[in-house]
Structure 1
């Protein structure tokens, strides 16, 4: 059981705690009412003064880059167009070849024989054609001479007839004589008509056309044989690096076997990559881009865009980009990888604003700019962040006066000289 003395002791300590709390409250109230205390509280609640700075261009990032593959400008297939045994191989895989260089040779004995036969056929046809032309000339001459002879005979018969008629009228010839001479005249006329008809028929008949056709056919056969003979030397279809080439002496080449190698043209050479939608937007209106070998980043070049796919690939969901690079010294080889700069150093210098100057209202962003004697609230579209600065895509531009402090105390259209702009002190709740 707790005695009376113990209760008195606990009560005494309880009252001492209350007195201590009341004393502390009194001291605090006295301190707040002391000189200078009100000013200190007010300074803590004073808004920042409005300050402006000109918007400047600043590097927001390094140029955006993408890895690209080095590929041949054009790839041409090496095809055998003749059948036969390979007798000689003149080039090796990986060797640089020039258009028209002989890569390998196929046995051409049969082709040479076919060509020789065609040459003989051409000569025979030419001889036959010449003989036919000579015969035509001689035959026409004979027909023309016959026309001339019959015409002379007709003229003579006409003179005899005229004479006998005169004699008959003079009484020195009888009718029977006149009739005989008239018959001779008619026969001479028929001979002329027949001779002229033969000459005309001859002129209207092409007696040597079939022989000319045979001669032309023989000539074309010879051309085919000559061209076929050329196929027994398999030549490079273009200049470049010979790849996928494994032809050896003794193997049988076949025109039906398909390609036996490739020539990769490397001047010009291409750099090829696939762009996502965002990167496609960066290059779609450009004519050329900067590229470089990642092993030598200080050596950069500029190449024209030879192809940019106008639509996205349905399979890869990307856009194909190809750059064409002159490569006369053949220092760039297919199979390597280069970097392509989709943006330039200049494009990375953009208008930026301090992130602390941005006012965020729900999903929208704003800044204040000073226009003349008032502050204007602008909605802005923001881009990339670099440290304490953020890119502005839309809303403000370089040179405008941006409010960098005190923007939270401003209203749209507020005058620069308004009382609010001078940031009057606000009373502290503790001073009331």
Structure 2
């Protein structure tokens, strides 16, 4: 049975081949027998006419976009600089706080006591300083008076000595009396020198420096004690949203414990993303980019580029991009995701040519351009494709006349007139 079936299929295939052959012969015979023919049929082959069109810019794609994260502009830690029990909590986690607002209050009894002690110590030091100043004035006055008295005594001794010498010359006194007056004059001079030396030494000394140092030290201690009192009211280090804040009344806090919360500044706020090498080149050199919320794509904004990493991260192989966005109404919140346009609508308007106008020779691509009275063959570098058009990166410019039809019949440098002439139809004899 198998052999019979096989023979039937072979017979059917041979029959179909014969029918096809007979049909072809009939068509050929009909062509040969057409009226006016001399026994030979001709087939007309007419090449396409050369057509040109001005190169122009067209939208090749929508702007290139990338997902980005909304983050706080700056994050500041809330820390306690004092130790003690929390008496009251003024703000809650998630609230918006202004810089300097009190977040919570710590018991400050010990700090108040330290401040009072510093006040008393300063008062005592100031009194000691004043007493030292008064003593200095009085002691100098005594020394100056002693110098004045010694000067008077010297003057009197000088006068007595002069009178005694005159009397000696007159013969009324003896040499012994002259010697006594001379001794008294020398003693008076010595007393004056000693008094002047004590006054000079006193003026060159600083008898109140120690008391003054103690007073200044006490003043600084009081300033420290007063300033430390401010630490018992823990305030917001900046304006923003209070996060990671879990302080409760009765809790004991200390300066050594580290941060007890954070303030995320959201005006301005940042939009951050990581760029590949290709996308980095699209952004490099720009000052601002367009961004929008994917939930409301019609509402777009423009933001300044606050940071673009100059070198690639070795860990992620990407470049960090940060945009700074004013956010006075606090409409943007950290944690959201936005879209950032790396290119603009204008940048996507590029020089494009019809894909069918391109001549491909192995790995190279060419087009013909009408230049003066010639058709010139140009090598082109092509980019993205959109429908029937393809982006031209290099090779032709906007406004040039591009050959869009008949380019395969042209030769480099061929005259425009010869290509524009109507080409004659060529004939080939049909098979008999």
Residue aligning to 1:209:
209
What SS class does the counterpart of residue 41 from structure 1 fall into?
strand
Displacement after TM superposition at 1:24 (Å): 3.9
Residue aligning to 1:124:
124
What SS class does the counterpart of residue 396 from structure 2 fall into?
coil
Residue aligning to 2:251:
251
Q: Closer, same or farther in 2 for the Cα pair 1:118/1:32, shift >3 Å?
A: farther
Paired residue for 1:41, among 34, 43, 46? 43
The yes-or-no answer on 1:427 pairing with 2:427 is: yes
**8 Å contact kept, 1:410–1:421:** no
What SS class does the counterpart of residue 256 from structure 2 fall into?
coil
**8 Å contact kept, 2:41–2:429:** no
Residue aligning to 1:27:
29
Could you list the per-position Cα deviations for residues 212-260 of structure 1 after superposition, in whole angstroms to 9, with x for gaps in the alignment?
1111111111111111111111100000000010000000101111110
**8 Å contact kept, 1:58–1:352:** yes
Displacement after TM superposition at 1:23 (Å): 7.3
Rounded Cα–Cα distance in structure 2 between residues aligned with 1:112 and 1:23 = 122
Residue aligning to 1:6:
none
Residue aligning to 2:363:
363
With 294-303 and 69-78 compared, the bigger mean Cα shift is at: 294-303
Residue aligning to 2:66:
66
Residue aligning to 1:87:
87
Rounded Cα–Cα distance in structure 2 between residues aligned with 1:194 and 1:60 = 107
Residue aligning to 1:272:
272
Displacement after TM superposition at 1:32 (Å): 7.2
Could you list the per-position Cα deviations for residues 306-364 of structure 1 after superposition, in whole angstroms to 9, with x for gaps in the alignment?
00000111111111000000111111111101111111111111111000001111111
**8 Å contact kept, 1:50–1:421:** no
Could you list the per-position Cα deviations for residues 153-180 of structure 1 after superposition, in whole angstroms to 9, with x for gaps in the alignment?
0001001111111111111111111111
Residue aligning to 2:15:
none
Displacement after TM superposition at 1:420 (Å): 8.2
Residue aligning to 1:261:
261
Give the alignment of 1:205-354 within 5 angstroms.
205-354=205-354
Q: Closer, same or farther in 2 for the Cα pair 1:407/1:304, shift >3 Å?
A: same
Displacement after TM superposition at 1:427 (Å): 2.7
Rounded Cα–Cα distance in structure 2 between residues aligned with 1:285 and 1:413 = 41
What SS class does the counterpart of residue 417 from structure 1 fall into?
helix
The yes-or-no answer on 1:190 pairing with 2:182 is: no
Residue aligning to 2:375:
375
Rounded Cα–Cα distance in structure 2 between residues aligned with 1:382 and 1:148 = 110
Rounded Cα–Cα distance in structure 2 between residues aligned with 1:222 and 1:149 = 47
Displacement after TM superposition at 1:379 (Å): 0.8
Rounded Cα–Cα distance in structure 2 between residues aligned with 1:23 and 1:278 = 63
**8 Å contact kept, 1:89–1:249:** yes
Rounded Cα–Cα distance in structure 2 between residues aligned with 1:388 and 1:22 = 39
Displacement after TM superposition at 1:425 (Å): 2.5
Residue aligning to 1:8:
none
Rounded Cα–Cα distance in structure 2 between residues aligned with 1:413 and 1:207 = 108
Give the alignment of 1:156-195 within 5 angstroms.
156-195=156-195
Q: Closer, same or farther in 2 for the Cα pair 1:395/1:418, shift >3 Å?
A: same
What SS class does the counterpart of residue 256 from structure 1 fall into?
helix
Rounded Cα–Cα distance in structure 2 between residues aligned with 1:67 and 1:58 = 26
Could you list the per-position Cα deviations for residues 78-132 of structure 1 after superposition, in whole angstroms to 9, with x for gaps in the alignment?
0011111000100000101010001001111111111110111111101100110
Q: Closer, same or farther in 2 for the Cα pair 1:37/1:174, shift >3 Å?
A: farther
**8 Å contact kept, 1:32–1:431:** no
Rounded Cα–Cα distance in structure 2 between residues aligned with 1:25 and 1:334 = 80
What's the TM-score, normalizing by structure 1?
A: 0.92
Q: Closer, same or farther in 2 for the Cα pair 1:122/1:82, shift >3 Å?
A: same
Displacement after TM superposition at 1:69 (Å): 0.4
* Structure 2, unpaired ranges of 5+: 1-17
What is the number of residues matched between the two proteins?
A: 414
What SS class does the counterpart of residue 43 from structure 2 fall into?
helix
**8 Å contact kept, 1:70–1:336:** yes
What SS class does the counterpart of residue 159 from structure 2 fall into?
helix
With 305-314 and 208-217 compared, the bigger mean Cα shift is at: 208-217
* Structure 1, unpaired ranges of 5+: 1-16
What SS class does the counterpart of residue 418 from structure 1 fall into?
helix
Residue aligning to 1:10:
none
Q: Closer, same or farther in 2 for the Cα pair 1:258/1:26, shift >3 Å?
A: closer
Give me the CA root mean square deviation: 2.3
Displacement after TM superposition at 1:296 (Å): 1.2
Give the alignment of 1:400-411 within 5 angstroms.
400-411=400-411
Q: Closer, same or farther in 2 for the Cα pair 1:284/1:26, shift >3 Å?
A: closer
Q: Closer, same or farther in 2 for the Cα pair 1:419/1:197, shift >3 Å?
A: closer
